[in-house]
């Protein structure tokens, strides 16, 4: 199997490294291109056998699967560059939520799918959202998802719920780490505990909580009930959070969706202009 990657920024490089570290792909199977040649060259130096392509077309030509890991407004330029070398049997995988399947299927003659990875995939954990295009056959969907199984739990979602699904799987690690950061800072300020010790405790707690919620048989509500003793310390803390966080997550979802709609409009304008 030969894989091409166009874009080796934050998420593109995470995907490449996770797939290599998991054993899903060998470096020799990967050809990658980036607008800044030095970035992909560093990957090639780190992973012997990985090919640093001189152009996006070279990264795409003859590959079984081509991952597009670029910013939404760069898609049209990249598509124009790779269209002449794309064959119907190839699978092009987009990792950008505002670029819709219809945009890609209108512009490319091949099979198209969309995945939304997460930084958690770097440690071979978390989920990867999968939204498959109409040209994807059942065996194509299974093949892509089997590849992703090496680094995550693939979850099929409707494109209509891409944004909220991505909020929960891809944005939430940053949101959760922000919560922990503020909790740690408050612990240091209020008690004098060292930042290093507080960070270790909070990080290990997060790992354990994740296991309880995935393989431990708990959901968020049942876990709180198990820890929350009536009249106890945890109950007092949860009561404060219930009051102070009331409506905050609704506003958070509102903000992420508003930004998504803004990006979607910009992408739509680019692809509409191309059609004309």
Of residues 86, 252, 264, 63, the one with CA closest to residue 168: 252
| Mean pLDDT within 57-64 | 98
276 has a pLDDT exceeding 70? no
* CA–CA dist 22, 123 (Å, integer): 9
62 is in an annotated binding site: no
Of residues 103, 135, 130, the one with CA closest to residue 274: 103
Please state, rounded to an integer, the average pLDDT across all residues of the chain.
Answer: 96
157 has a pLDDT exceeding 80? yes
224 has a pLDDT exceeding 90? yes
What is the 8-class DSSP label of residue 170? I
275 has a pLDDT exceeding 90? no
Task: Kindly indicate whether the domain formed by 165-252 is annotated with CATH number 1.10.3730.10.
Answer: yes
247 is in an annotated binding site: no
76 is in an annotated binding site: no
Pairing outcome for strands 51-52 and 65-68? unpaired
Q: What is the dihedral of CA 2, 4, 76, 161, to 10 degrees?
A: 80
Would you say 24 and 151 are in contact if contact means Cβ atoms under 8 Å apart?
Answer: yes
The alpha carbon of residue 253 and the mean position of all alpha carbons in its chain are separated, in whole angstroms, by 17
56 is in an annotated binding site: yes
pLDDT at site 120: 97
Would you say 91 and 144 are in contact if contact means Cβ atoms under 8 Å apart?
Answer: yes
pTM of the predicted model as reported, rounded to 2 decimal places? 0.93
Give residue limits of the domains in the chain: 3-157, 165-252
Pairing outcome for strands 111-116 and 127-132? antiparallel
Task: Read off the pLDDT of residues 19-31 as tens digits, 9 standing for 90 and up.
Answer: 999 999 999 999 9
10 is in an annotated binding site: yes
Of 141 and 276, more confident: 141
Q: What do you get for the CA distance between the two ends of the chain, in Å? A: 37
Task: Read off the pLDDT of residues 168-219 as tens digits, 9 standing for 90 and up.
Answer: 999 999 999 999 999 999 999 999 999 999 999 999 999 999 999 999 999 9
How confident is residue 272, by pLDDT bands cut at 50, 70 and 90?
A: confident
* CA–CA dist 247, 251 (Å, integer): 6
pLDDT at site 96: 93
Is the fold of 3-157 the same as that of 165-252?
no
6 is in an annotated binding site: yes
pLDDT at site 108: 96
The fold of the 3-157 domain, in CATH, is Rossmann fold (3.40.50)
């Amino acid at each position: 199997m030969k894989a091409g990657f166009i874009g080796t920024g934050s998420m593109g490089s995470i995907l490449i490294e996770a797939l290599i570290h998991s054993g899903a792909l060998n470096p020799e199977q990967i050809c990658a291109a980036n607008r800044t040649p030095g970035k992909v060259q560093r990957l090639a130096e780190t992973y012997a056998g990985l090919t640093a392509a001189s152009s996006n077309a070279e990264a795409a030509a003859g590959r079984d699967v081509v991952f597009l890991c670029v910013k939404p407004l760069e898609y049209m330029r990249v598509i124009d560059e790779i269209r002449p070398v794309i064959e119907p049997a190839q699978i092009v995988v987009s990792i950008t939520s505002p670029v819709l399947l219809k945009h890609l299927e209108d512009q490319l003659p091949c099979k198209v799918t969309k995945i939304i990875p997460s930084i958690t995939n770097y440690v071979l954990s978390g989920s990867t959202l999968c939204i498959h295009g109409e040209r994807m056959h059942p065996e194509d969907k299974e093949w892509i998802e089997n590849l992703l199984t090496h680094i995550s739990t693939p979850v099929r979602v409707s494109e209509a719920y891409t944004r909220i699904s991505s909020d929960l799987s891809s944005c939430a690690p940053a949101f959760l780490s922000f919560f922990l950061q503020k909790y740690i800072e408050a612990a240091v300020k209020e008690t004098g505990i060292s930042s290093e010790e507080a960070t270790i405790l909070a990080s290990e707690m997060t790992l354990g909580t994740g296991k309880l919620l995935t393989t431990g048989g708990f959901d968020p509500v049942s876990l709180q009930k198990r820890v929350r003793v009536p009249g106890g310390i945890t109950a007092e803390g949860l009561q404060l959070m219930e009051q102070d966080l009331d409506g905050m997550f609704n506003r958070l979802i509102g903000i992420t969706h508003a930004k998504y709609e803004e990006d979607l409009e910009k992408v739509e304008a680019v692809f509409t202009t191309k059609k004309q």
